[in-house]
Every structure is written in C-alpha cells, then in structure tokens.
Amino acid sequence: MKIRPLLLLALCYSQFAMAHVTLEQTSAPAGSYQKLTFKVGHGCESSGTHTLTVTLPDGVQGAKPMPKAGWKLDTVIVALATPYTSHGKTISSDVREITWSGGLLPDAYYDEFSMQVKLPETEGKLYFKVTQLCEKGRLDWIEIPKDGQNRKELKAPAPMLNLEGKSMPAEHQH
C-alpha cells in the first residue's frame, strides 16, 4: 500500500497533461472536409470558461462553427490574398476566427466546441491557436514546437492536426 501516493501523483500528472484544450481529431487527409472538435478539459486554475476563440490557420477554407445552446457565436472574416473557387463561385474573403462566448463551463465540467472546415491541400502539421477566457484569468493555447522540440514539453501547446496524403478526391464530401 506504500506505493499508493506515488500512483496517485502519476495519475494526476497525466490527467493534467491530457486536459488542456485539444483537438479530438489527430489527423485527416489534406484537402478534405472535416469536422474538428476542440475539447476543453479544464478552466483557468479553478475558474470557469465563458469564451473560447479559435484562430484558423491559413489555407483552412469555409469554416462553419457548430452552434451551441447557451453560447453566442461570432466570426471574424478577412479578405484573402489568394481567392479560391468553391461550388463554382470565387471566394475572396473567409472566416479566420471563431468565438463562442456568453456561456459558462465550470472547471469541474467538460465540453466540446465543433466546426466544419475544408483543410488545406498541403500535407504537414496544422496548428490552431486557441484563447480561453475565464471568469478569472485566461489561457492562451498558442505554443508551437520548434524543430526537434516535443509538443508534450510545452506548457500551453496549440491544438495540432496532422494533414496526411490524400486518399480520394475531396469534392462534395460535405
């Protein structure tokens, strides 16, 4: 039974490491339509979350947030340097930021925030910077690992998605 405090400590540590704000999906085909779900595992210290902002990396197209009961939605739309074509129309501005606000997620509870996006065509790692505002304090999940650095070593890593090689044409999967 002497092993117990140690075990408890290890358990707490791993729970903390896994909490954060993370993406449910770890990888997806480049250029595909995907549902992305951001998981909020805890508040700021013990304070509840009332706002979550996700910044979409360049190349993510046509983002549509999923409404949540009790939360207000706002999007920031910016002009694109390189317009693209979707459904036969030229798209010259697109959603770059999505904010859910006005709700309250107590630190003791867990919730998820989802959106549909079309992913960039290029393979590689995609980072989504997230800001979490709480009744007291804020957390910025914006750290991106430098070359050779392990993401797990970061205090506040940005949620990451691995874009893999395309398996089939992505047109109209949505």
Q: Which stretch binds Cu ion (CB under 5 A): 20-28, 93-101, 109-117, 158-166?
A: 20-28
Judged by beta carbon, residue 20 or residue 118, the one nearer Cu ion is 20
Q: How far is the CB of 19 from Cu ion (least distance, A)?
A: 3
Q: How far is the CB of 173 from Cu ion (least distance, A)?
A: 32
Q: Which stretch binds Cu ion (CB under 5 A): 18-26, 86-94, 105-113, 140-148?
A: 18-26
Per-residue string for binding with Cu ion, 60-89, x by CB under 5 A? ------------------------------
List CB contacts of 53: < 8 A, sequence separation 6 or more: 97, 98, 99, 130, 131, 133
Beta bridge partners of 85: 90
Residue 96 lies near Cu ion (rule: CB under 5 A): no
Residue 19 lies near Cu ion (rule: CB under 5 A): yes
Nearest to 28 by CA among 92, 117, 108, 153: 117
- Tell me the C-alpha distance between 104 and 136, whole Å: 12
Q: How far is the CB of 82 from Cu ion (least distance, A)?
A: 36
Q: Are strands 49-55 and 27-29 parallel, antiparallel or unpaired?
A: unpaired
Residue 142 lies near Cu ion (rule: CB under 5 A): no
Q: What is the largest CA-CA distance in the chain?
A: 68
- Tell me the C-alpha distance between 153 and 14, whole Å: 13
Residue 20 lies near Cu ion (rule: CB under 5 A): yes
Residues engaged in binding Cu ion (CB under 5 A)? 19-20
